[in-house]
Structure 1
């Protein structure tokens, strides 16, 4: 119980990242075709128009890794109070979100970019909490 008290904020934020990235990754896996088609339209007038499947695959891999590493971070904090995986999960989450933000800005989807910033703020805060 002391570990949970000591790392409550970190654990909650790691769970937030795990849910966010694993759900998003699973959505991409289960509806790959629908996601590719929608994104082709979204990026039709950008430099990404011919690269949508490759870029979506890269984001999928990063989201799944960030989500899994965040789950490992929860386990590692609870079992040994080691925050290495937690930090790596948060850092990978930030990189993933920045890539998504860049894509939304390129597509001139400013509302979408604003939504990503809502996810980026707690993720950056988690990196801050986990810095030693």
Structure 2
């Protein structure tokens, strides 16, 4: 029975992590076309770093929770775009846009969404198993 609770805990941690990932992708997509007058001021895409958490009570690593270890800026440099009429244009007429690949971000969003859905299904199945276990115990 404690294995089912550990599994519940692992899925819950994965849901939280995927939720952070979805929010980060949404932020990247929302800022994909923003402009800045300097490369330093341009938005940098964010990436979520995950880390598994070793459970001392689970030496076999059957149910290893995951946590968000951090959110880091991507290394890609913003690209200059010549737009002299843009309100953010510098003295040379350039604005700097973030190096965000919208197609990659959409694929990342679909992956996070599917992982989220899979963990919801695991939690639902675990809940059903716990209910059946309680019903057998009452008989």
| TM-score of the two chains, using structure 1 as the length reference | 0.40
**Higher Rg of the two aligned structures:** 2
- Name the structure, 1 or 2, with higher relative contact order (CA <8 Å, separation 6+): 2
For normalisation by structure 2, the TM-score amounts to 0.38
Larger strand fraction of residues = 2
Greater helix percent: which structure? 1
